[in-house]
Chains A and B, each alone.
Chain A
Amino acid sequence: RKEVEQDPGPFNVPEGATVAFNCTYSNSASQSFFWYRQDCRKEPKLLMSVYSSGNEDGRFTAQLNRASQYISLLIRDSKLSDSATYLCAVKKSSGDKLTFGTGTRLAVRP
């Protein structure tokens, strides 16, 4: 089983839709979680960290479910500009490295 797994998609949604992605992780000792956004042929950029209590940034909400070992990203009122690949990243309790998922592609259509 991969350490971090994501549905590759693509998720094709109309503008204004609400869409959610999940990311599962295998190591129960993981302690830090992040969502990154990557546009085509560009570098990944941090979208938001994921806190235990869940956190929201505008139209984006991130949540952590430790019992089921997954994190989620909810995007409300999708915009054309949200079209990108969303990568989740997980840090184990020890060590200094992040492990990235392969990403979920989102395509928002007019």
Chain B
Amino acid sequence: NAGVTQTPKFRVLKTGQSMTLLCAQDMNHEYMYWYRQDPGMGLRLIHYSVGEGTTAKGEVPDGYNVSRLKKQNFLLGLESAAPSQTSVYFCASSYKTGVNLYEQYFGPGTRLTVT
């Protein structure tokens, strides 16, 4: 099992450019999440999904869009990147039921710099 994988690992964008971050998990998890992590701010939830075809806003959704067309994939889009979106982005997934409910498994992160 690869667990949770993220593509790309690093990216530099110019202000106004767009990009999509891909998250994939092979654990058959129902729930998937996108976080950003900034110094002193901790992990902040951007968007999340409780199942294929569903998405919901988290704490800091502005400037981002997401899609979950397949259960194993969760995409995060930046339509017009801004320097304030410079951050480390983590994807996570978790089970919906069972003993391990809500224990989240994280991908290795994407380091994004917007100049």
On chain A, the residues within 8 Å of B40 by CB distance are 8, 102
Bound together, the chains give a CA A89 to CA B108 distance in angstroms of 19
Give how many B residues have a beta carbon under 8 Å from the other chain's beta carbons.
21
A45 to B107, CA, bound (A): 9
Q: Is the CB of B102 within 8 A of A100?
A: no
Q: Which of B41-49, B62-70, B74-82 contacts A (4 or more CB under 8 A)?
A: B41-49
Which chain B residue lies CB-closest to A48? B103
Cβ contacts B46-63/A at 8 Å (1 or 0 each): 001010000000100000
Instruction: State in angstroms the CA–CA spacing of A40 and B103 once bound together.
Output: 21
Of the candidates B58, B90, B103, B105, the one having the most CB atoms from chain A within 10 angstroms of its own CB is B103
Do B102 and A46 touch across chains, with their CB atoms under 8 A apart?
no
Q: Which residues of B lie under 8 Å from residue A28 when comparing CB positions?
A: none
Contacts of A69 in B (CB 8 A): none
For the complex with contacts A97-B33, A102-B41, 14 further pairs of A-B residues with Cβ separation under 8 Å are: A8-B40, A32-B102, A34-B103, A43-B90, A43-B106, A43-B107, A43-B109, A44-B43, A45-B106, A46-B104, A96-B31, A96-B50, A100-B35, A100-B43
